[in-house]
Amino acid sequence: MALTPRIAIDAMGGDVGVRMMLAGAAMARHKHDGLRFILVGDEGQIKAALENHPNLRAASDIIHTDGVVSGEDKPSQAIRKAKSTSMGLAIDAVKRGDAGGAVSAGNTGALMAMAKLALRTMPGIDRPALAALLPTLGDNDVVMLDLGANTECDATNLTQFAVMGAAYARTALGLERPRVALLNIGTEELKGTDEIRDAAALLRDAQGLPMEFAGFIEGDKLSRGDVDVIVHDGFSGNIALKTIEGTARFVTDLLRRAFTSSTRSKIGFLISRPATELLRHHLDPNNHNGAVFLGLNGVVLKSHGSADAKGVANCVHLCAELIEKDITRQVTEDLANFRRGDAA
């Protein structure tokens, strides 16, 4: 039975704040009229922004607070004022059961720390991981985790990430048996650190899980679409993510410069515009916005701080889908099956 999605929105998070977060939530509700919201933040600003979104206003409750987690706040500072900030109260709504999930575009480290403290990690998980969907040349996006929550990971952490990532791929991508690979410096079995090789051995021996272990994958194959889930520690994953995002911006800026360099180039742009629009759409980070903290007893998503309304809407849609398909239950069941297989 699908769960009714009610989502707590940290209205004060992000580079633009209330106006953009509510515009995104309103856009999401126009496409999914069953959505309901708890909007957390400055009540005056929220009510002013809701004047432009009557459809959202009719489906929302407001929790007022003046407190905001800034981009400069350390996780320890954010935790101390969690009960008085929009981010902390949005997470608390999930903890109390008033919301099925929370969305924030605020400080990632603070969001991770507060979510972990309030919701706790689920049984069988040592550390939660930050997972996101990225575009590929294949038939579907690829799940990458961890993207920065854990800079150092042992073999057990990596295998847990693999199980969680596979469950996420089944939920978000509709795959029955996702192909899972470990990011490494080569595809040979002897390549990589002890932690990566040990994790590979554990995953090769895993029994009864709805996933296929595809071995190692190198950095130049991340976007090929050869696998569905790519697992790595947060240090490597964050570097890989930033490299992918920087390359995408480089390609689009280079094309823009090339197409405006001369009259002939401008004519060429007009001829090739359908192709360049397809490329722009594929590389637009707003079309893949929303990273989820897997391994917590609740659904918490991080929206990119610079996301536009479409990007926020996509993050809200993803949050609703994870609530409806009960991602927490799926991860819990897969972890239990993995532990039973490992014990056997």
Residue 193 to residue 183: CA distance in whole angstroms: 11
CB burial string 69-78: b at 16+ within 10 A, e below = beeebebeeb
Tens of pLDDT, residues 218-246:
999 998 999 999 999 999 998 988 888 88
What DSSP character marks residue 295?
T
Amino acid 203: pLDDT: 92
Question: Do the domains 126-290 and 1-123+295-325 match in fold?
Answer: yes
Q: Which residues, 6 or more positions from 229, have their beta carbon under 8 angstroms from its beta carbon?
A: 142, 143, 144, 145, 162, 165, 166, 168, 169, 178, 179, 180, 181, 211
91 contacts 301 by C-beta, under 8 angstroms: no
Contact 196, 159 (CB under 8 A): no
Q: How many CB atoms lie within 10 A of CB 188?
A: 10
Residues paired with residue 40 on neighbouring β-strands, in sequence order: 10, 63
* pLDDT band, very low/low/confident/very high, at 324 (cuts 50, 70, 90): very high
Q: Does 1 score more than 50 pLDDT?
A: no
CA atoms within 13 A on the CB side of 78: 26
H helix intervals, the chain = 18-31, 43-50, 54-57, 75-80, 86-96, 108-119, 155-173, 194-205, 234-259, 263-283, 309-324, 327-343
Q: How far apart are CA 188 and CA 214, in angstroms?
A: 12
Q: What tens digit of pLDDT does each residue of 32-42 get?
A: 888 999 999 99
Q: Coil, strand or helix: which one is 27? A: helix
Q: In what order do the strands lie in the sheet with 6-10?
A: 60-64, 36-41, 6-10, 101-104, 299-302, 291-294, 129-134, 142-145, 229-231, 179-183, 212-217
What's the rounded Cα separation, in Å, for the pair 174 and 309?
Answer: 25
CA atoms lying within 13 Å on the CB side of residue 20: 23
Give 45-101 pLDDT, tens digit per residue: 999 999 999 999 999 999 999 999 988 889 899 899 889 999 999 999 999 999 999
What distance in Å separates the CA atoms of residue 129 and residue 146, rounded to the nearest whole number?
Answer: 5
Q: Which CATH number is 126-290 given? A: 3.40.718.10
Separation CA 49–CA 18 (nearest Å):
7
- Residue 327 makes CB contacts below 8 A (sequence gap 6+) with 167, 168, 171, 292, 294, 299
DSSP reduced 3-state for 314:
helix
Structure tokens given for 314: 């996509």
Biggest distance spanned by C-alpha atoms of the chain: 70
Residue 277 has pLDDT above 60, yes or no: no
Q: How confident is the model at residue 18 (pLDDT cuts 50, 70, 90)?
A: very high
Among 13, 7, 3, which residue's Cα sits nearest to residue 303? Answer: 13
115-141: pLDDT as tens digits: 999 999 988 888 999 999 988 888 889
Q: Which amino acid is at 172?
A: A
pLDDT in tens, 179-227: 999 999 999 988 989 999 999 999 998 777 889 999 999 999 998 999 9
Look at domain 1-123+295-325 and name its CATH class: alpha beta
Q: What is the pLDDT, as a whole number, of residue 13?
A: 84
DSSP string computed for 185-206: S-SSTT-S-HHHHHHHHHHHH-
> Where do the domains of the chain lie?
1-123+295-325, 126-290
* 303 pLDDT tier (thresholds 50, 70, 90): very high
183, 162 Cβ separation under 8 angstroms? no
